[in-house]
Amino acid sequence: MALYYHEVFEQSVRFGIKIRKTIFEGESEYQRLEILDSDRFGRMLVLDGLFMTSEKDEFFYHEMLIQPALCTVPKLERVLVIGGGDGGSVREILRHPSVEKVVMVEIDEFVVNSCKKYLPMIGTAWDDPRLDLRFDDGIAYVKESEDEPFDVVIVDGTDPVGPGVVLFDLEFFRGCKRMLRPHGVLAMQSESPIYFEKTFVETQHKLAEIFETVRPYFGPVPIYSGGIWSWTFASDQVDPLELNEARVAAITPDSKVYNGEVHRAAFAQPNYIRKLIAG
Ligand code: SPD
């Protein structure tokens, strides 16, 4: 008999993926973690019953979270990642040779250790000497850290439920901005505009209170239901459509999704999204 794992959204939508077996399950003080093996997507990470990433589709998410910011920021040396426990984001960042240092602040060591063990095909850059991995509270870090500011801040968090809610707070966004150099760019995952419409819209509005330019961008992520996923780009000085063509050309041959055309297309806004944001 086929066995499906269902992500249930507000008791109105069920999205199911056929599972071969559970490889590992456990619980930290923050969340419940499962590593599943599926027919279609290979190994998958599930946190608190929500699909996070998978071996076969992770590039849709990680390339699009990282590359638009890194291919537009004028100077690219220091990058901060909040969250990102599976390692896909730091892998994408460390593809750029100009990056000198990546500070990754992940609250849950159990997620990183489990992903290192069971999803090594996603986090392939854990041993890169440019990575400074810290197990700490990202909210406190951006509020209090005395570290040198960054060229790019990436927020690779979970959905806005339980502990993930604070990653969508204005105060957190102010902290992220505090950690950015004046020419810096913030890029974050900003949820499904269909299922998390309120979070998506409020995120645009909150960021617009503190950044000159705020632009959502879109793409598919097959294991996230709703058809399209959103990320958001925010900066005081950088236009998201002014690409650093040399960086784009350098990473395009080894990217599965990202190239200059995909970048530009991702920033196109359907009319219903424009209306949502305009209120
Ligand atoms: N619906 C899931 C949204 C989770 C976004 N973050 C995933 C983490 C992958 N690094």
The residue to which tokens 């997507």 are assigned: 41
For the chain, domain boundaries: 4-54, 58-278
Q: What is the pLDDT of residue 11?
A: 81
pLDDT of residue 162: 75
Give the separation between CA 23 and CA 214, rounded to whole angstroms.
40
Please tell me the distance between residue 223's alpha carbon and the centre of ligand 1 in angstroms.
10
Report CA torsion sign: 61, 270, 244, 177.
negative
pLDDT for res 26? 98
Tokens of 15: 């999205």
Taking the C-alpha atoms of residue 180 and residue 154, their distance in angstroms, rounded to an integer, is 11
Q: What is the pLDDT of residue 15?
A: 95
How much is the pLDDT for 79? 99
Strands 229-235 and 78-83: unpaired
User: What is the per-residue pLDDT for 103?
Assistant: 98
State the closest ligand 1 atom to the C-alpha of 189, by its place in the atom list counted from 1: 5
Rounded CA gap, 265 and 253, in Å? 18
pLDDT of residue 9: 86
| Spatial CB neighbours of 209, under 8 Å, sequence gap ≥ 6 | 170
Mutate to test the pocket of ligand 1, among 56, 159, 203, 231 (most ligand atoms within 8 A of CB): 159
Block residue for tokens 């819209």: 201
| pLDDT confidence of residue 156 | 98
Determine the pLDDT at residue 1.
79
The residues annotated as belonging to the active site are 156
Q: What fold characterizes domain 4-54?
A: Spermidine Synthase; Chain: A, domain 2 (2.30.140)
Nearest-angstrom CA–CA distance, 21 and 33: 14
CB count in 10 Å sphere of residue 57:
20
This prediction has a pTM of 0.97
The residue written with tokens 């279609």 in the block is 40
Q: Is the CB of 191 under 6 A from ligand 1?
A: no
CATH ID of 58-278, from 2.40.50.140, 2.70.98.10, 3.40.50.150, 3.40.50.2300: 3.40.50.150
pLDDT tens for the chain, residues 1 to 279: 789 999 998 888 999 999 999 999 999 999 999 999 999 999 999 999 999 999 999 999 999 999 999 999 999 999 999 999 999 999 999 999 999 999 999 999 999 999 999 999 999 999 999 999 999 999 999 999 999 999 999 999 999 987 789 999 999 999 999 999 999 999 999 999 999 999 999 999 999 999 999 999 999 999 999 899 999 999 999 999 999 999 999 999 999 999 999 999 999 999 999 999 998
CA of 187 to the centre of ligand 1 (A): 14
Q: What's the CA gap between 92 and 20, in Å, rounded?
A: 29
Q: Tell me if 96 sits within 8 A of 69, measured CB to CB.
A: no
